[in-house]
Amino acid sequence: MSIYLDYNASAPIDHRVLDYMIDVYKGAYGNADSRTHNFGDTSRKVVEKARADVAAILDIRKDEVFFTSGATESNNIVLQGLREYAEQTGKKHIITSSIEHKAILETAKYLQKEGFVVDFVNPDATGRISAKNVIRLVREDTLLVSIMHVNNETGIIQPVQEIGEYLNSKDVFFHVDATQSFGKLVDELKALKYDMLSMSAHKLAGPQGVGALILRKKRYKLPPVKNIMFGGPQEHGIRPGTIPVALVAGLGKACELAHAEYQENKKKCLSIKEIILQLLMDSGVKYHINGDINYSIPSTLNVCFDGVSSEALMLATKQYCGVSNGSACNSHSYAPSYVLVAMGLSEERIENSIRISWGAETDLNAVRVEFTNLLEYVRNIQ
């Protein structure tokens, strides 16, 4: 049986999350915004428990958590939702990076067409953006800095802490796309200084189709982010539409579990990383790790195998491992990974690179067996 090693695209749902969601589907089917009966109250309680669980893992207030359909929507609300404020204040400069998820990049490019000035900061070959390069671009009319915490393709941790420290005393909003770090780098996120944060439940063993936008209050006031869809008053009008109670419950449960287990999960993920690195070293194949491994999260590796096309490799070793090249959102196209391009890697190196990502419950022995099979294929080609 092929082993699933594409957790950064979507992690399998934790069965404890699924069981809880099924109970919620069965028992809390009312609309959480219905005031006229107990069925609404039952659902509201489930939603507010979930909100408290999201808030707890970040060490923030419950009223700073807004449920969305996922990080794509959260990112869109941040960028597009600040538009009115930008027009009013004349602050129309945005700083982001060239390795953000498309939900940031495409929205920023759209705003560029609408008269915003956007700077896209490049990483160096380590896969990291320099905090200095970001800070240096801040100017009088800078509205927003949006930098991801962990890159989804390389797993490289970005210097959001330094950027957050600097921006904390400035009149500039700081948004962090924490989709790949949420529930994993828990202490780091608790300590981080930011105004807005995006996440998706399915990256931390929760259900697909739900996430959160975090808006931090400063002097009791939320950032001036406006709704980008029109409808009901749900989620303070920031995200209109009936709250999907069971999905939100699943997100809350995933947070509760991640909060209780993240230290143990981190150790398990690290041991898998060590096994993969050891297998690579012992195999005799020619390979390179993309990005500075000292900054990569315990659950991701981006590896180049010299002379072995990733497309051919993935096809030929499908029966062993489910890995990917580039992010799932772009994997239908054969365009080279824009993240690795921005890092300045050669075309050949990019073409020969795969992303491997896993979770705490990934079976160590299965990794040993199946990754060895994949390496055997690489050795035969090289």
Instruction: List the catalytic residues.
Output: 329
28/134 with CB nearer ligand PMP: 134
Q: Which of 70, 207, 298, 326 binds ligand PMP (CB under 6 A)?
A: 70
CB of 153 to ligand PMP, least distance (A): 8
The span of 66-74, 313-321, 330-338, 343-351 binding ligand PMP (CB under 6 A) equals 66-74
Token pair for 207: 């259900």
Packed helices 71-81 and 102-113: angle between N→C axes, nearest 10 degrees: 20
164/326 with CB nearer ligand PMP: 326
Distance of CA 74 to the CA centre of its chain: 11
Token pair for 74: 């959260």
Q: Which of 103, 269, 280, 297 binds ligand PMP (CB under 6 A)?
A: 103
**Residue 71 in contact with ligand PMP, rule: CB under 6 A:** yes
Q: Are 279 and 301 in contact (CB under 8 A)?
A: no
**Residue 6 in contact with ligand PMP, rule: CB under 6 A:** no
Reduced to 3 states, what is the DSSP secondary structure of residue 216? Answer: coil
**Residue 177 in contact with ligand PMP, rule: CB under 6 A:** yes
- Number of Cβ within 10 Å of residue 320's Cβ equals 21
The span of 43-51, 177-185, 188-196, 278-286 binding ligand PMP (CB under 6 A) equals 177-185
Amino acid at site 285: V
**Residue 207 in contact with ligand PMP, rule: CB under 6 A:** no
30/164 with CB nearer ligand PMP: 164
If 0-12 CB within 10 Å is exposed, 13-18 middle and 19+ buried, where does residue 85 land? Answer: middle
Q: Are 75 and 177 in contact (CB under 8 A)?
A: yes
DSSP code of residue 127: S
Q: Parallel, antiparallel, or unpaired: how do β-strands 117-121 and 93-97 relate?
A: parallel
CB of 339 to ligand PMP, least distance (A): 10
Q: Which of 43, 72, 146, 362 binds ligand PMP (CB under 6 A)?
A: 72
Binding site for ligand PMP (CB under 6 A): 70-72, 101, 103, 148, 152, 177, 179-180, 200, 202, 327
